[in-house]
Chain A
Amino acid sequence: MKYAKLLLSLLGTLGIFFLLNTKIGALPPLGKFLSPASGIWQNETDESISGEVMIPGLQEEVVVHYDAQLIPHVFAQNDHDLYKAQGYLTAKHRLWQIEFQTYAASGRLSEIFGEGALEYDRTERRRGMGYGADQAMAYMEKYDQETLAFVQDYADGVNAYINQLEPEDYPVEYKLLDYKPEAWTAKKTALLLMYMTKMLAGGDDDLEYTNTLRLIGKENFDLLFPDFFDVNDPVIPKETDWSFIDVPQTPSPGSEAVLDTIKETISKPNPDNGSNNWAVSGAKSSTGNPILANDPHLGLNLPSIWFVMQLSTPEYNAFGATIPGALGVISGFNQHISWGETNATRDVIDWYKIEFNQDRTQYQYDGSWKDVKVRVEEIKIKNQAAYIDSVLYTHHGPVVYDKNFKSDSEWSGYAMKWVGHEGGNNQKTFLQLNRAKNYEDYTAALQYWNAPAQNFVFASTEGDIALWIQGKFPNKWEGQGKFLMDGSKPENDWQSYIPQAYNAHTKNPERGFVSSANQHPVDEAYPYYVFNDGYETYRNRVINDFFNSKEEFSIQDFKDLHNNNDNLKAAELVPYMLETMDASGLTADEKVIYEEMKAWKFNNDIDEVGPSIWRQWYGKLYGLVWDEFDSEETALASPYTYQTIYLLKNQGDHKFMDIVETEDKTETAQDLFLLAFKEAAARLKEIKEEEGSYTWANYKGTYAGHLLQGLPAFSRFDIPIGGDRNIVNATSENHGPSWRMIVEMSSPPTALGIYPGGQSGNPGSKYYDDFIDDWAAGEYHSLNFLQSSEKTDKVIETQTLKPARDE
């Protein structure tokens, strides 16, 4: 009896220990998790930002002033200390985020989440994310030891922070998922840069286009996917003289596309990833100083993709938005210049069909056989044996699709050629921009930049404004890479690159401003083939019309433009629909919505109902127009919005307007307007019944989701902000201006900046999401540009990082 009781209580004790010490399903190990001494209660605090901290490897003291926004102002005595401090401070405020992003970049999420993430991980491995990072590391090792040393300093800084932590200090996400941080490495910075490259230059539709071409023929394809739209207000002004370019476009070899049927393609980055930037010259500025603005449109996440810092040494003083994991300021300014980026959206991914030999060790090329290289990807899986994926590499790049992945073809596959695999030196560009003093330094910094191609806007205190479209661009023959190509023919390879000096750019243009909004980079006069990679056609026209509308522009004008909610897309179609649609048969309920639409001034403010009606109406209409493209058998491309509207207005009786299902009737655009309107009205009525109203704020429900699959408890919902995609204020549901910056090039520059998040990555900190309300209201924070390490009244706390003496 005694023994039985003892045994029973022993089992009970072991049982409760196991239950409370183990992660079960989504439930964290509750004993560990809720213990006041080591669990989440230890995260119920702000970061400590005062006193002294010992950091191994520092050469001299680094002073870090914090202002009321928790922005660290870093004063180091040399570059090595500066990047150590940047690594240390980034880890201090964003440790879980920087590590999680590199796990995501390298296809290692299965280590954290288990088998559910395997498909994602395999995709990233086959996309060659790790391979690309290896190439970048190899490049730095061979050609740029200096940059590599700085990247290593940053890693040392991150590790100095990690090494100071006890398990109770780990960010709350580690406790929730029950794992712990690993050491940071230089390669993780390379992986993070690959992550950005994928986000901004990792999308393409070549395989979808191939299917579409096969399905609808060349004539229809060219109608739906033209290289240029009938309106074009390009990044580089139309009147630019290209006569200095003396290297011709690659002549066309007359290759034919390979018209395979591709059922399924790999996941793509969000096509809304884009941005605005612009600058006005001193002559066009109300103060006489150039003014520059930038707002990158990315997923709205918490912790935010940006972390604002001031980074200075006695030689230079840079300030602006950093990307946790990368060195230097990415979008910002120093005492002499300011800069910012938008995505150049160029086609730098092409696909090649590969024919293998019998044992898949060789592939056909130029009439003979070439050896395949194998990269073995070991994907570790939580609580399970690792998954081994052997990815075959050709001289084009990785064979992403083959019999082991999204294809059942035994002896062939599709290889990806991506400039992201070429091993660039992107980090160097930012390090140089942070130090740049003038236009020459800016252009010198840009030459290292390969991908993702960006529109780098520039303004200086000397009075220059400029914009370079920088990236490493293949010099393609006309039409090259639009569709799947035969990988065995040498003429289909990228033959050469556009010389960097011939990348499209403009300096101090006559019109007195430069701007970019992911639209077409150039017009037809530019002597190289520029494929229409889904260029934006609305924001750019609103921005350029605004800058052409008057003589002088103030900071207030810049703010107004950032927050401009004009819906040009709706303005170009709605009046035509209202005018030509037969509204006589509408029901009383529908009539109300019809009148609401008529009263709308094409403005996406939060209390309007017009934007919600438009979204519903156009959404239904688009589906009806392109019902031909609704296929589960093959992956097809979605025709462009601009071209869809063009066809609706100009070719309303085109056979695409006909609904395939209704065999006895041939619909025209006008029929579709009415059908779509009725469907939209029915849905809007439902929304009204479910949610009380369909005002735009309510309908859209903008939110900033936590990086961990949008974990609701750590996210912010129903953020009251207007705008939408294709609007200058590009805020849609979970995407939008992730950083807004305005810099006036006074001496020293004065700047405003804000982003939808907060400096702290800790959901328990009041600094976690404290910028969101001001951001939504269209307000800005003054960026306190400290001119020396002297403490000012803007400084709330100071922390000194001191060299740790060797023990």
Chain B
Amino acid sequence: MNNKILNFIATIVFTFLFGLFLPWWSIMVAAFLSALLLPLEKWSSFLVPFSAIFFYWGIQAFVISSRNDFILAGKISELLQLGGSPDVLIFVTGVIGGLAAGIAAILGRETKVLLLSKT
């Protein structure tokens, strides 16, 4: 398995573990840590954790919401002026989580670069 897949999986596993005791920004800690342990190159260092959390949050949101006929998702989508579509809200949820994770992962990579150059 290459690092991309490993990083993807690690980001999700860490998010799950940190999520047990940390609030929403557990995704940022998880992505940071994955980047430290499993560094990626160039755009991948952002895109892989982004995708991991995009899917992790998106799928969770979808599963939770589908059990309740998407009642609240539709209303929150209207509230945030996303047109009232639950799908759009789920997509936005994934993007927001993905962005936070991706940027934290870049910080992780830069930290790793610095650490490596010192040793």
Known: A34-B92, A34-B93. A44 touches B99 (CB 8 A): no
Task: Contact check, B110 vs A38: say whether CB atoms are below 8 A apart.
Answer: no
Q: Which residues of A contact B28 (CB under 8 A)?
A: 13, 16-17
Determine whether A46 belongs to the interface, using a CB cutoff of 8 Å to chain B: yes
Task: Contact check, B107 vs A713: say whether CB atoms are below 8 A apart.
Answer: no
Task: Contact check, A36 vs B96: say whether CB atoms are below 8 A apart.
Answer: no
- Which residues of B, 60-106, contact A by the 8 Å Cβ criterion? 60-61, 64-65, 67-73, 75-76, 78-80, 89, 92-93, 96-97, 99-100, 103-104, 106
Q: Which residues of A contact B80 (CB under 8 A)?
A: 27
Task: Contact check, A34 vs B107: say whether CB atoms are below 8 A apart.
Answer: no
Q: Which residues of A contact B92 (CB under 8 A)?
A: 34
Cross-chain contact of B25 among A12, A17, A176 (Cβ < 8 A): A17
Determine whether A10 belongs to the interface, using a CB cutoff of 8 Å to chain B: yes
- Which residues of B, 36-71, contact A by the 8 Å Cβ criterion? 57, 60-61, 64-65, 67-71
Task: Contact check, B72 vs A35: say whether CB atoms are below 8 A apart.
Answer: no
Determine whether B2 belongs to the interface, using a CB cutoff of 8 Å to chain A: no
Q: Could you mark each residue 305-345 of chain A with 1 if its beta carbon is under 8 Å from any beta carbon of chain B, else 0?
A: 00000000000000000000000000000000000000000
For residue A34, which residue of chain B has the nearest CB? B93
Cross-chain contact of A34 among B67, B69, B96, B114 (Cβ < 8 A): B96
Task: Contact check, A13 vs B103: say whether CB atoms are below 8 A apart.
Answer: yes
CA of A415 to CA of B70 in the docked complex: distance in angstroms?
53
CA of A13 to CA of B106 in the docked complex: distance in angstroms?
8
Q: Which residues of B contact A12 (CB under 8 A)?
A: 103, 106-107
Task: Contact check, A765 vs B71: say whether CB atoms are below 8 A apart.
Answer: yes
Task: Contact check, B103 vs A16: say whether CB atoms are below 8 A apart.
Answer: yes
For residue B78, which residue of chain A has the nearest CB? A713
Among B70, B78, B103, B104: residue with most chain A CB under 10 A: B103
CA of A231 to CA of B23 in the docked complex: distance in angstroms?
66
Determine whether A142 belongs to the interface, using a CB cutoff of 8 Å to chain B: no
Cross-chain contact of A9 among B89, B96, B100, B110 (Cβ < 8 A): B110
Q: Which residues of B contact A722 (CB under 8 A)?
A: none
How many residues of B are in contact with the other chain, CB < 8 A?
Answer: 41
Known: A30-B96, A44-B65, A713-B79. A763 touches B24 (CB 8 A): no
Tell me how far the C-beta of A578 lies from the nearest C-beta in chain B, rounded to whole angstroms.
45
Known: A9-B107, A13-B104. A35 touches B97 (CB 8 A): yes
Tell me how far the C-beta of B74 lies from the nearest C-beta in chain A, rounded to whole angstroms.
9
Q: Which residues of A contact B26 (CB under 8 A)?
A: 37
Majority-rule SS of B interface residues: helix
Determine whether B3 belongs to the interface, using a CB cutoff of 8 Å to chain A: no
Majority-rule SS of A interface residues: helix
- Which residues of B, 1-38, contact A by the 8 Å Cβ criterion? 19, 23-26, 28, 32
Q: Which residues of A contact B70 (CB under 8 A)?
A: 44
Known: A44-B71, A46-B68. A31 touches B96 (CB 8 A): yes
Tell me how far the C-beta of A451 lies from the nearest C-beta in chain B, rounded to whole angstroms.
38
Among A20, A21, A36: residue with most chain B CB under 10 A: A36
Determine whether A6 belongs to the interface, using a CB cutoff of 8 Å to chain B: yes
Tell me how far the C-beta of A445 lies from the nearest C-beta in chain B, rounded to whole angstroms.
41
Tell me how far the C-beta of A21 lies from the nearest C-beta in chain B, rounded to whole angstroms.
7
* Interface size range on A against B: 35 or more
Q: Which residues of B contact A9 (CB under 8 A)?
A: 103, 106-107, 109-110
Task: Contact check, B60 vs A36: say whether CB atoms are below 8 A apart.
Answer: yes
Task: Contact check, A764 vs B100: say whether CB atoms are below 8 A apart.
Answer: no
Q: Which residues of B contact A16 (CB under 8 A)?
A: 28, 99-100, 103-104
Cross-chain contact of B93 among A27, A36, A42 (Cβ < 8 A): A36
Among B28, B75, B80: residue with most chain A CB under 10 A: B75
Cross-chain contact of A38 among B24, B89, B117 (Cβ < 8 A): B24
Determine whether A712 belongs to the interface, using a CB cutoff of 8 Å to chain B: yes
Q: Could you mark each residue 162-173 of chain A with 1 if its beta carbon is under 8 Å from any beta carbon of chain B, else 0?
A: 000001000010
Determine whether A32 belongs to the interface, using a CB cutoff of 8 Å to chain B: yes
Determine whether A293 belongs to the interface, using a CB cutoff of 8 Å to chain B: no
Q: Which residues of A contact B57 (CB under 8 A)?
A: 34-36
Q: Could you mark each residue 701-712 of chain A with 1 if its beta carbon is under 8 Å from any beta carbon of chain B, else 0?
A: 000000000011
Q: Which residues of A contact B99 (CB under 8 A)?
A: 16
Q: Could you mark each residue 581-619 of chain A with 1 if its beta carbon is under 8 Å from any beta carbon of chain B, else 0?
A: 000000000000000000000000000000000000000
Q: Which residues of A contact B111 (CB under 8 A)?
A: 6
- Which residues of A, 737-774, contact B by the 8 Å Cβ criterion? 762-766, 768
CA of A144 to CA of B28 in the docked complex: distance in angstroms?
56
CA of A45 to CA of B78 in the docked complex: distance in angstroms?
18
Task: Contact check, B23 vs A38: say whether CB atoms are below 8 A apart.
Answer: yes
Q: Which residues of B contact A3 (CB under 8 A)?
A: 114
Determine whether A43 belongs to the interface, using a CB cutoff of 8 Å to chain B: yes
Given A13-B107, A30-B96, A39-B24, 10 further pairs, Cβ under 8 A: A6-B111, A10-B107, A10-B110, A16-B103, A41-B72, A43-B72, A45-B67, A713-B75, A713-B78, A764-B72
Mark A residues whose CB is within 8 Å of B.
2-3, 5-6, 8-10, 12-13, 16-17, 20-21, 27, 30-32, 34-46, 167, 172, 176, 711-714, 762-766, 768
Mark B residues whose CB is within 8 Å of A.
19, 23-26, 28, 32, 57, 60-61, 64-65, 67-73, 75-76, 78-80, 89, 92-93, 96-97, 99-100, 103-104, 106-107, 109-111, 113-114, 117
- A–B pairs, 23, beta carbons within 8 Å: A2-B117, A5-B113, A9-B103, A9-B106, A9-B107, A13-B32, A16-B103, A21-B24, A21-B25, A27-B80, A31-B25, A31-B100, A34-B89, A34-B96, A35-B57, A41-B64, A41-B73, A44-B71, A712-B78, A713-B76, A763-B72, A763-B75, A764-B68
7 A-B pairs closest in CB distance: A764-B72, A35-B24, A36-B60, A713-B79, A713-B78, A9-B107, A44-B72
